Amino acid sequence: MKRAIFPGTFDPFTIGHQSLVKRGLEIVDEIIIAIGINEKKQTYFPLEKRLEAIEKLYKNNPKVRVMSYDSLTVDFAKSVDAQFIMRGIRTVNDFEYEKSIADVNRKLTGIETFILFTEPEHTHISSSIVRELLNYGKDISLFVPKETELY
């Protein structure tokens, strides 16, 4: 079984993330959406709310699990027997950052990272933009899956 983790803060999980999971399942048999806990990051939604929202979205899909972790991403990947780390990129700047991390992860553990490019209609969507809209009381329904009920 080919298993990948899809790590991130997912604060919140967007339709761009949802698209990446759908496309990732064409490559691997199972994806674990791995919510990283980073005490240095100020999040909008508490961890429990993010876990609940994503679990609700994928409740009928046995190929997707949702977990949280508080360690290096590669250590978490090894702990769940994932052979791959899946990442999405929107811009060239994202690529440089992700390549450096992928190289280190491969060197440390042999775990490969595969990158999916964000679909053009989603490149403008980021969790940080959605949080900014929330801070100003704007409607975010165009940017997050309706099943998550975050708006």
pTM (predicted TM-score): 0.94
Across residues 65-78, what is the average pLDDT?
97
Q: Rounded to 5 degrees, what are φ and ψ at 100?
A: -60, -45
Which residues are known to be catalytic?
A: 17, 41, 90, 127
Query: CA-to-CA distance for 76 and 66, rounded, in angstroms?
Result: 13
Query: CA-to-CA distance for 52 and 22, rounded, in angstroms?
Result: 19
Per-residue pLDDT at 148 exceeds 90: no
Predicted local distance difference test score (pLDDT) of residue 38: 83
Q: Determine the 3-state secondary structure of 17 from DSSP.
A: helix
Question: Of 8, 13, 49, which is closest to residue 122 (Cα–Cα)?
Answer: 13
